[in-house]
Structure 1
């Protein structure tokens, strides 16, 4: 691990040592493994890894390892949707029901009337299949079928049921025009993109983003052939809330008393709402290209920076990204959490710093008190990364 060019001789090593110590501290606190990349306008300037790809054998996490990036997948889809708007193939004012066969949207409240912007900023009022208790058990919990490759509309059935429709009447059901995070928004966005282009969503991701940016390690699991890169074991914390909400699949052995090994699973259940795998470096290269306007026009970038409150203090959402207030300046990006993985990707609103942090452990359905620190969202780690990026830029 370390700086990837000769500039390391001119960089004060304090920032780098502090970053390595932060990764190792997170592993000591309970994370199995972690991979981090820092980039600036000059490209990737630092990569660091700590912990195990396989707890049983002690094989280490390496820079080449791929991790599930969860909902950061949504940023790729947002870019494609806005590119199609630029090409006049998508209309921001049209309802998605005008693009899709009614069989896709029927029986799902607020679906047909939703617009592309309302999908992108989660104001559609469409319920999330991720919140359905049956889906949680079958998608991540005790009733998981690890070998199943989910179809692209399968998750929609969990909110098309009679029980789900009744759920829409409760006071805290999603309301059109009000932010309510929903994976379903991006399931529908994927179907709209496929309808408009005539191509599978994964083909559009590859032709519009992955190939132009030469990102060799990224793929959509279950829908594309895996790359030659390695994927570490996928672990998931088992808290009391996880046991109650999801339950533990007998197909996933315990690696530790509070940790299961879910490596038999795949992310097809998430599709374009959260099913991509990537190395930390390639994800950083994507975020750098997005930040620097190499994927979208200035008008689309302006739309991506049109912020509305999420209802959480210090948090705003745009059309595909989130803005988070911090002690020493805001960050812009997205988090991701799925079975077996947790991910963070962001850039500093002020200055020149892009960071990705990927972990081979999931925390979904574990409750607010996480079993171990997830350092990608902590102010301390953000400040350490910004300090290294600033030092690098000053020295080079």
Structure 2
């Protein structure tokens, strides 16, 4: 049986890490730590820097590229159902007008789109898109069409390597969203709701710009680190007032441009529910989970499967999941390989295109011992059961 002191110590360590992040300038954080036996929730900071309203567990944050895990699950479910093959190419699935002038898109297979080995430029890296989608030229209230971001890569290739080599590209998952729609004849967001959100009771999760916000969720204000690096890349948008020398308020914006590459908003507890279900085989069969975890070298010592990353920690442990970074938000969703711990970290500050920043939701995971303390906390619930 776990000693009460052990649990209290781990809780205190987690709270201290979140306090340090808030002290470094992150407005608000929402965290969930989940085991099979118990879920702990933590909040720190504020949802709005003007009103100083505190973050609550029912606040919904942009999860960024964690959205890609949902998309990968739907794609692999369609493979299980015989409606799609990993070897199918974009040209066999989509109309030529969709991938017109996007170098190497037509020959890309579903498998290579999932694993970021298709060799297709990412619209997120295009200088014009950065200004239009996150910067000086962005119309905050405009709802992008699903194919519009693809227009930024209808040109000669600039950044991606040859197909077969790893290169992270949002374009891949925009194409996968369109493939889901072509195969099912339904909106991709509807398929995710029908196949994942509704069965799991995830009532605090939705696609911004394509679905209505849930009535029981709260939306925090959203902020972004406006460093010199960010201003050089994105410029200054008059609709995003400065909160400090290096922080802007981009609450008026929306994530419709991200769509299936990063457009979901969710709560920490909803995401924990999703991770447990995926880990425990409630969404995919064992063969699909094996495909998802076929690891290949990625960047910064990480490994990539089909929709999932694998990171190794200094203590030798490995964690599976994804970081998320979009305008106004950073996020992290990870579960311990071979263990019983899921952790979700959500914050209402973005750091894309900003270079080095004081802290963010992803920093909390990458640059502290949060994962290790979360794992120890989760283990106390097993001892108490």
Displacement of 1:9? 6.4
CA distance in 2 between partners of 1:371 and 1:267 (Å): 24
Q: How far, CA to CA, are the matches of 2:338 and 2:265 in structure 1?
A: 28
Deviation for aligned residue 1:47:
0.2
2:153 is the counterpart of 1:151:
no
Match of 1:382 in 2: 371
Mapped to 2, the partners of 1:11 and 1:327 lie a distance apart of 22
1:275-286 matches, within 5 Å, as 275-286=263-274
* Offset of residue 379 of structure 1: 4.6
Kindly report which structure 2 residues correspond to 1:178-257, keeping only aligned pairs within 5 A, or say none: 178-228=165-215, 229-257=217-245
What is the aligned partner in structure 2 of residue 393 from structure 1? 382
Counterpart in the other structure of 1:126: 120
Matches of 1:41 and 1:195 in 2, distance apart?
37
- What is the rounded CA distance, in whole Å, between the counterparts of 2:339 and 2:4 in structure 1? 23
Q: Does the 8 A contact of 2:127 with 2:233 survive in 1?
A: yes
Q: How far did residue 173 of structure 1 move?
A: 3.1
| Mapped partners of 1:256, 1:143: distance in 2 | 21
Could you tell me whether the CA contact under 8 Å between 2:255 and 2:263 is conserved in 1?
Answer: yes
> 2:288 aligned with 1:319, yes or no?
no
1:98 to 59, 69, 92: 92
Q: Secondary structure at the match of 1:118?
A: helix
Of 342, 352, 367, the match for 1:354:
342
Aligned partners of 1:73 and 1:274 also within 8 Å:
yes
2:17 and 2:368 in contact (8 A); partners too: no
Mind listing any 5+ residue stretches in structure 1 that lack a counterpart?
1-6
The total of aligned residue pairs comes to: 380
Poorly superposed stretches of 4+, deviation over 4 Å = 7-11
Distance 1:267 1:57 in 2: 24
Hey, what's the Cα distance between the residues in 2 that align with 1:393 and 1:25?
Answer: 29
What TM-score results when the alignment is normalised by the length of structure 2? Answer: 0.96
Deviation of 1:8 (Å): 10
Q: RMSD across aligned C-alpha pairs, in angstroms?
A: 1.4
> 2:41 maps to what in 1?
47
1:370 pairs with 2:365: no
Distance 1:31 1:66 in 2: 16
